[in-house]
Structure 1
Amino acid sequence: MKDGPDISRLGALIGDPARANILTALMSGKALTASELAGEAGVTLQTASSHLAKLEQGALIRVRREGRHKYITLASDDVAHVLEAMMGLAAGSGQLRTRPGPRDPEMRHARICYNHLAGDMGTRMYDSMIARGFLDHSGDALTLGAQGRTFVTDLGLDLDTLPSPRAPLCRDCLDWSERRSHLAGRLGRGLLAHFETTGWASRVPDSRIIRFTPRGQAAFEAAFPAP
């Protein structure tokens, strides 16, 4: 037997269609119940519970208990990044489960990737910040420079209040529809939350779509001009 991480086990967990649907539903960043995930997967609650047990055992999901209720989320940002990359690989090779629908343009324009902005708007924000030197990718890690800190502070985001201080401040994530990077990490999460708080954008219920208001779209384009 070869040494090293066992990617075949993770591949088998993600590769089951019902479990893939469950994981994709959790990419919304919301905590969902087993019943809700059974509906997303198109299976019975009993079958969904079996799938969830395997995903939890494989450290792909986290189960949180609140009183009598259980809520399920992805286990970490790392899981979300892997899923987003796999979606890009599948889309690029033509592995699509359904024909494009009327909501696809909105999904491609702006959507949530677990807890940060993805789609055309997400890659535009990333490219704009790279082009102006706010983000630096010259080393092994993506970093926020001094000018970048001034920029996001002037935008109204308090870097000192961002959650999960042990997580990376900046991280790039491969966008499945654009096949380019968008901004993840605590900064990506904080900027999306800021857009929602200021009324620039809001989440479409029961969807990963992020919808910008006309005012929010104009403000976003002014803050993040195309390079």
Structure 2
Amino acid sequence: MKEGPDIARIAALIGDPARANILSALMSGKALTATELASEAGVTVQTASAHLAKLEAGGLTAVRKSGRHKYISLAGPHVANVLEALMGLAAGQGHLRTRTGPRDVALREARVCYNHLAGARGIAMFDAMLAHGHLTQAGETLALTASGEVFVTDFGVDIAALRRARVPLCRSCLDWSARRTHLAGSLGRAMLAQMELQGWAHRQAGSRVVTFTSQGRRGFETWFGPLPSL
């Protein structure tokens, strides 16, 4: 390909195993240090720093300083969307790095995808909101309806504040574990944050897994119905 975007360059950045592990770790939505990411990648801090420099130069990560420390995060949700899609492609082709186990089951039920809820619970929330007319979808365009505004407001989300922010309110994201859609955008982030605020769920340290309490499971089913069969 002689003209157009250089996808080979981006693919090469993601394709290195150590860099892929670094990017996967950043899908938790947390900013991590080079030392933490070196552990995730299974390389030395010096080697991780070299990989991080390439990822930053390629526009895949961002770095911010706090005192003497540097914290690395994904450059934005657009990068997370690409990574989630690639995970779905790899899973669909059977390219899994580990055998299925309890951790895998937990990831498939509920996990954080950059800053919003993914897995079976993310899909159930999206499907319920779509089925009840709270969301409308036309191709890749997703919108919150008038009834949806009432619904999310009752759930505890400040929709007016979300609309004032200059970021997309609703975005669809393809779930890697089921290759079905879940809700991203500022609304997806706010819905997960509200679940955490209500004590329904918490994120497992050092993991993307989101664990729901017994109260949270009951509350989730009241609002969004049972989990789909995946």
TM-score in same-fold range (> 0.5): yes
Q: Secondary structure at the match of 1:84?
A: helix
Query: Match for residue 207 of structure 1?
Result: 207
Matched, 1:181 2:181: yes
Query: Match for residue 57 of structure 2?
Result: 57
Determine if contact 1:21/1:40 at 8 Å carries over to the other structure. Answer: yes
Determine if contact 2:111/2:210 at 8 Å carries over to the other structure. Answer: yes
Query: Match for residue 37 of structure 2?
Result: 37
Runs of 5+ consecutive residues of structure 2 not aligned to the other structure: none
Within-5 A mapping of 1:126-205: 126-138=126-138, 140-162=140-162, 165-205=165-205
More displaced 10-residue stretch of structure 1: 152-161 or 183-192? 152-161
Mapped partners of 2:19, 2:204: distance in 1? 24
1:45-67 CA distances to partner (integer Å, 9 max, x unpaired)?
11000000000000000001111
Cα distance, 1:8 vs. partner? 0.5
Alpha carbons of 1:164 and 1:69: their partners in 2 closer, same or farther (altered >3 Å)? farther
Mapped partners of 2:18, 2:101: distance in 1? 21
Q: Which amino acid aligns with 2:77?
A: D
Alpha carbons of 1:208 and 1:129: their partners in 2 closer, same or farther (altered >3 Å)? same
More displaced 10-residue stretch of structure 1: 199-208 or 217-226? 217-226
More displaced 10-residue stretch of structure 1: 117-126 or 153-162? 153-162
Determine if contact 2:163/2:169 at 8 Å carries over to the other structure. Answer: no
Determine if contact 2:134/2:144 at 8 Å carries over to the other structure. Answer: yes
Q: Which amino acid aligns with 1:223?
A: W
Count of residues in Structure 1 that have an aligned counterpart in Structure 2: 227
Runs of 5+ consecutive residues of structure 1 not aligned to the other structure: none
Cα distance, 1:118 vs. partner? 0.2
Alpha carbons of 1:176 and 1:164: their partners in 2 closer, same or farther (altered >3 Å)? farther
Mapped partners of 1:162, 1:202: distance in 2? 22
Query: Match for residue 93 of structure 2?
Result: 93
Mapped partners of 2:204, 2:139: distance in 1? 37
More displaced 10-residue stretch of structure 1: 83-92 or 151-160? 151-160
Query: Match for residue 113 of structure 1?
Result: 113
Query: Match for residue 72 of structure 1?
Result: 72
TM-score normalised according to structure 2 size: 0.96
Query: Match for residue 24 of structure 1?
Result: 24
More displaced 10-residue stretch of structure 1: 138-147 or 28-37? 138-147
Query: Would you identify which runs of 4 or more consecutive aligned residues in structure 1 move more than 4 Å?
Result: none
More displaced 10-residue stretch of structure 1: 135-144 or 174-183? 135-144
Mapped partners of 1:6, 1:208: distance in 2? 30
Determine if contact 2:140/2:172 at 8 Å carries over to the other structure. Answer: no
What is the RMSD of the two structures over their aligned residues, measured on CA atoms?
1.4
Mapped partners of 2:138, 2:18: distance in 1? 40
Cα distance, 1:159 vs. partner? 1.2
Alpha carbons of 1:140 and 1:40: their partners in 2 closer, same or farther (altered >3 Å)? closer
